[in-house]
Amino acid sequence: MPEMNLRSDKRDDESHLRVLKVDGYYLPPFVKEEHFRSMKTWKARNDDVIISAYPKAGTHWLWEVVSMLIQKKAERIPEIKETAMIEGLTEEKFHSLATPRVINTHVYFQHLPKDLFAKRCKIVYILRNPKDIAVSYYNHHKKLLMYEFDGPWDNYFQRFMQGNVDYGSWFDYTLEMERFIEKNPDYPIHVMYYEDLKENGTKEITKLAAFLEIDVGDDFVRSVNSLCQFDKMQQEKNKNETASMWRDKIHGMYRKGEVGDWKNWFTVAQNEMFDSIYQQKMANTKSKLRFSL
């Protein structure tokens, strides 16, 4: 099925969300179905690195960090991470990316090229607490014109909890990732947390470099961490985004980057509902999420 509109409330025409639906799986409207369907057969390279995350979990941030580490240059990456976002690429563009490729994605692993796993390409997986993700995703959907979304937060909260957004349910995504890790204990995957990276960037970047088998010194790590602070990313990386994509032509990809902003949005009732559903769905989770610092 091609592009469609999702509604969180059939009585509220302003809360529709434009997405692409492929075999029941929701994707952002910039994805092309024929490319998405063909991805499984694309060829990997042994030194490919995959950054995997649910949307709004810090992918832009981590892609910048990993790219600097891979290139061994504490310099701003001129490209934006969408240039290496696999579900948004053609096969030709994917294969034209310079080696080593730092690929990023929000899709389930079952949709990715099988060759990535056959070659045991390294995966960096970052999690962020879902309350902050919900707020960030709401602003993302509201500000990016391609989604045609202009609904209120109250309706969006229900939509997020039901998984009626592109890439589906945060709960399903996170549990699926846990199942992959559990079933593949020897696979080279490095798990990171947005909150840890925010709290102690140099420590987390040092561990990441070790996982990537990149020998860099403390000064280099500190330089990368400094360059990748939110305010610098917001100021410098937004220059590469097209203003016409955004509501009122105001860039929105780098909004706040805070931990705990959800407290400014969630009502008491919403927080109680979220906690109840979280405890039910994530009862056996091994993820160590923090909702504040």
β 102-105/25-27 pair status: unpaired
- pLDDT tens per residue, range 256-288: 778 999 999 999 999 999 999 999 999 999 998
Among 35, 106, 140, 141, the active-site one is 106
Q: Which amino acid is residue 146, in one-letter code?
A: M
- pLDDT tens per residue, range 56-103: 999 989 999 999 999 999 988 888 888 999 999 999 999 999 999 999
- How is residue 175 written in tokens? 């549990």
pLDDT at residue 246, as a whole number? 58
Paired strand residues for 21 = 26
pLDDT at residue 12, as a whole number? 47
pLDDT at residue 236, as a whole number? 63
pLDDT at residue 255, as a whole number? 59
CATH for the stretch 3-281: 3.40.50.300
CA distance 293 to 285: 20
pLDDT at residue 28, as a whole number? 94
CA distance 89 to 151: 29
**Of residues 229 and 242, more confidently modeled:** 229
Give me the residue label for tokens 């302003």.
Answer: 14
11 — pLDDT class (breaks 50, 70, 90) = very low
- pLDDT above 70 (res 239): no
Q: 111 an active-site residue?
A: no
- pLDDT tens per residue, range 159-180: 999 999 999 999 999 999 999 9
Selection from 207, 167, 174, 205 nearest residue 286 by Cα: 174
Q: Which residue ranges make up each domain of the chain?
A: 3-281
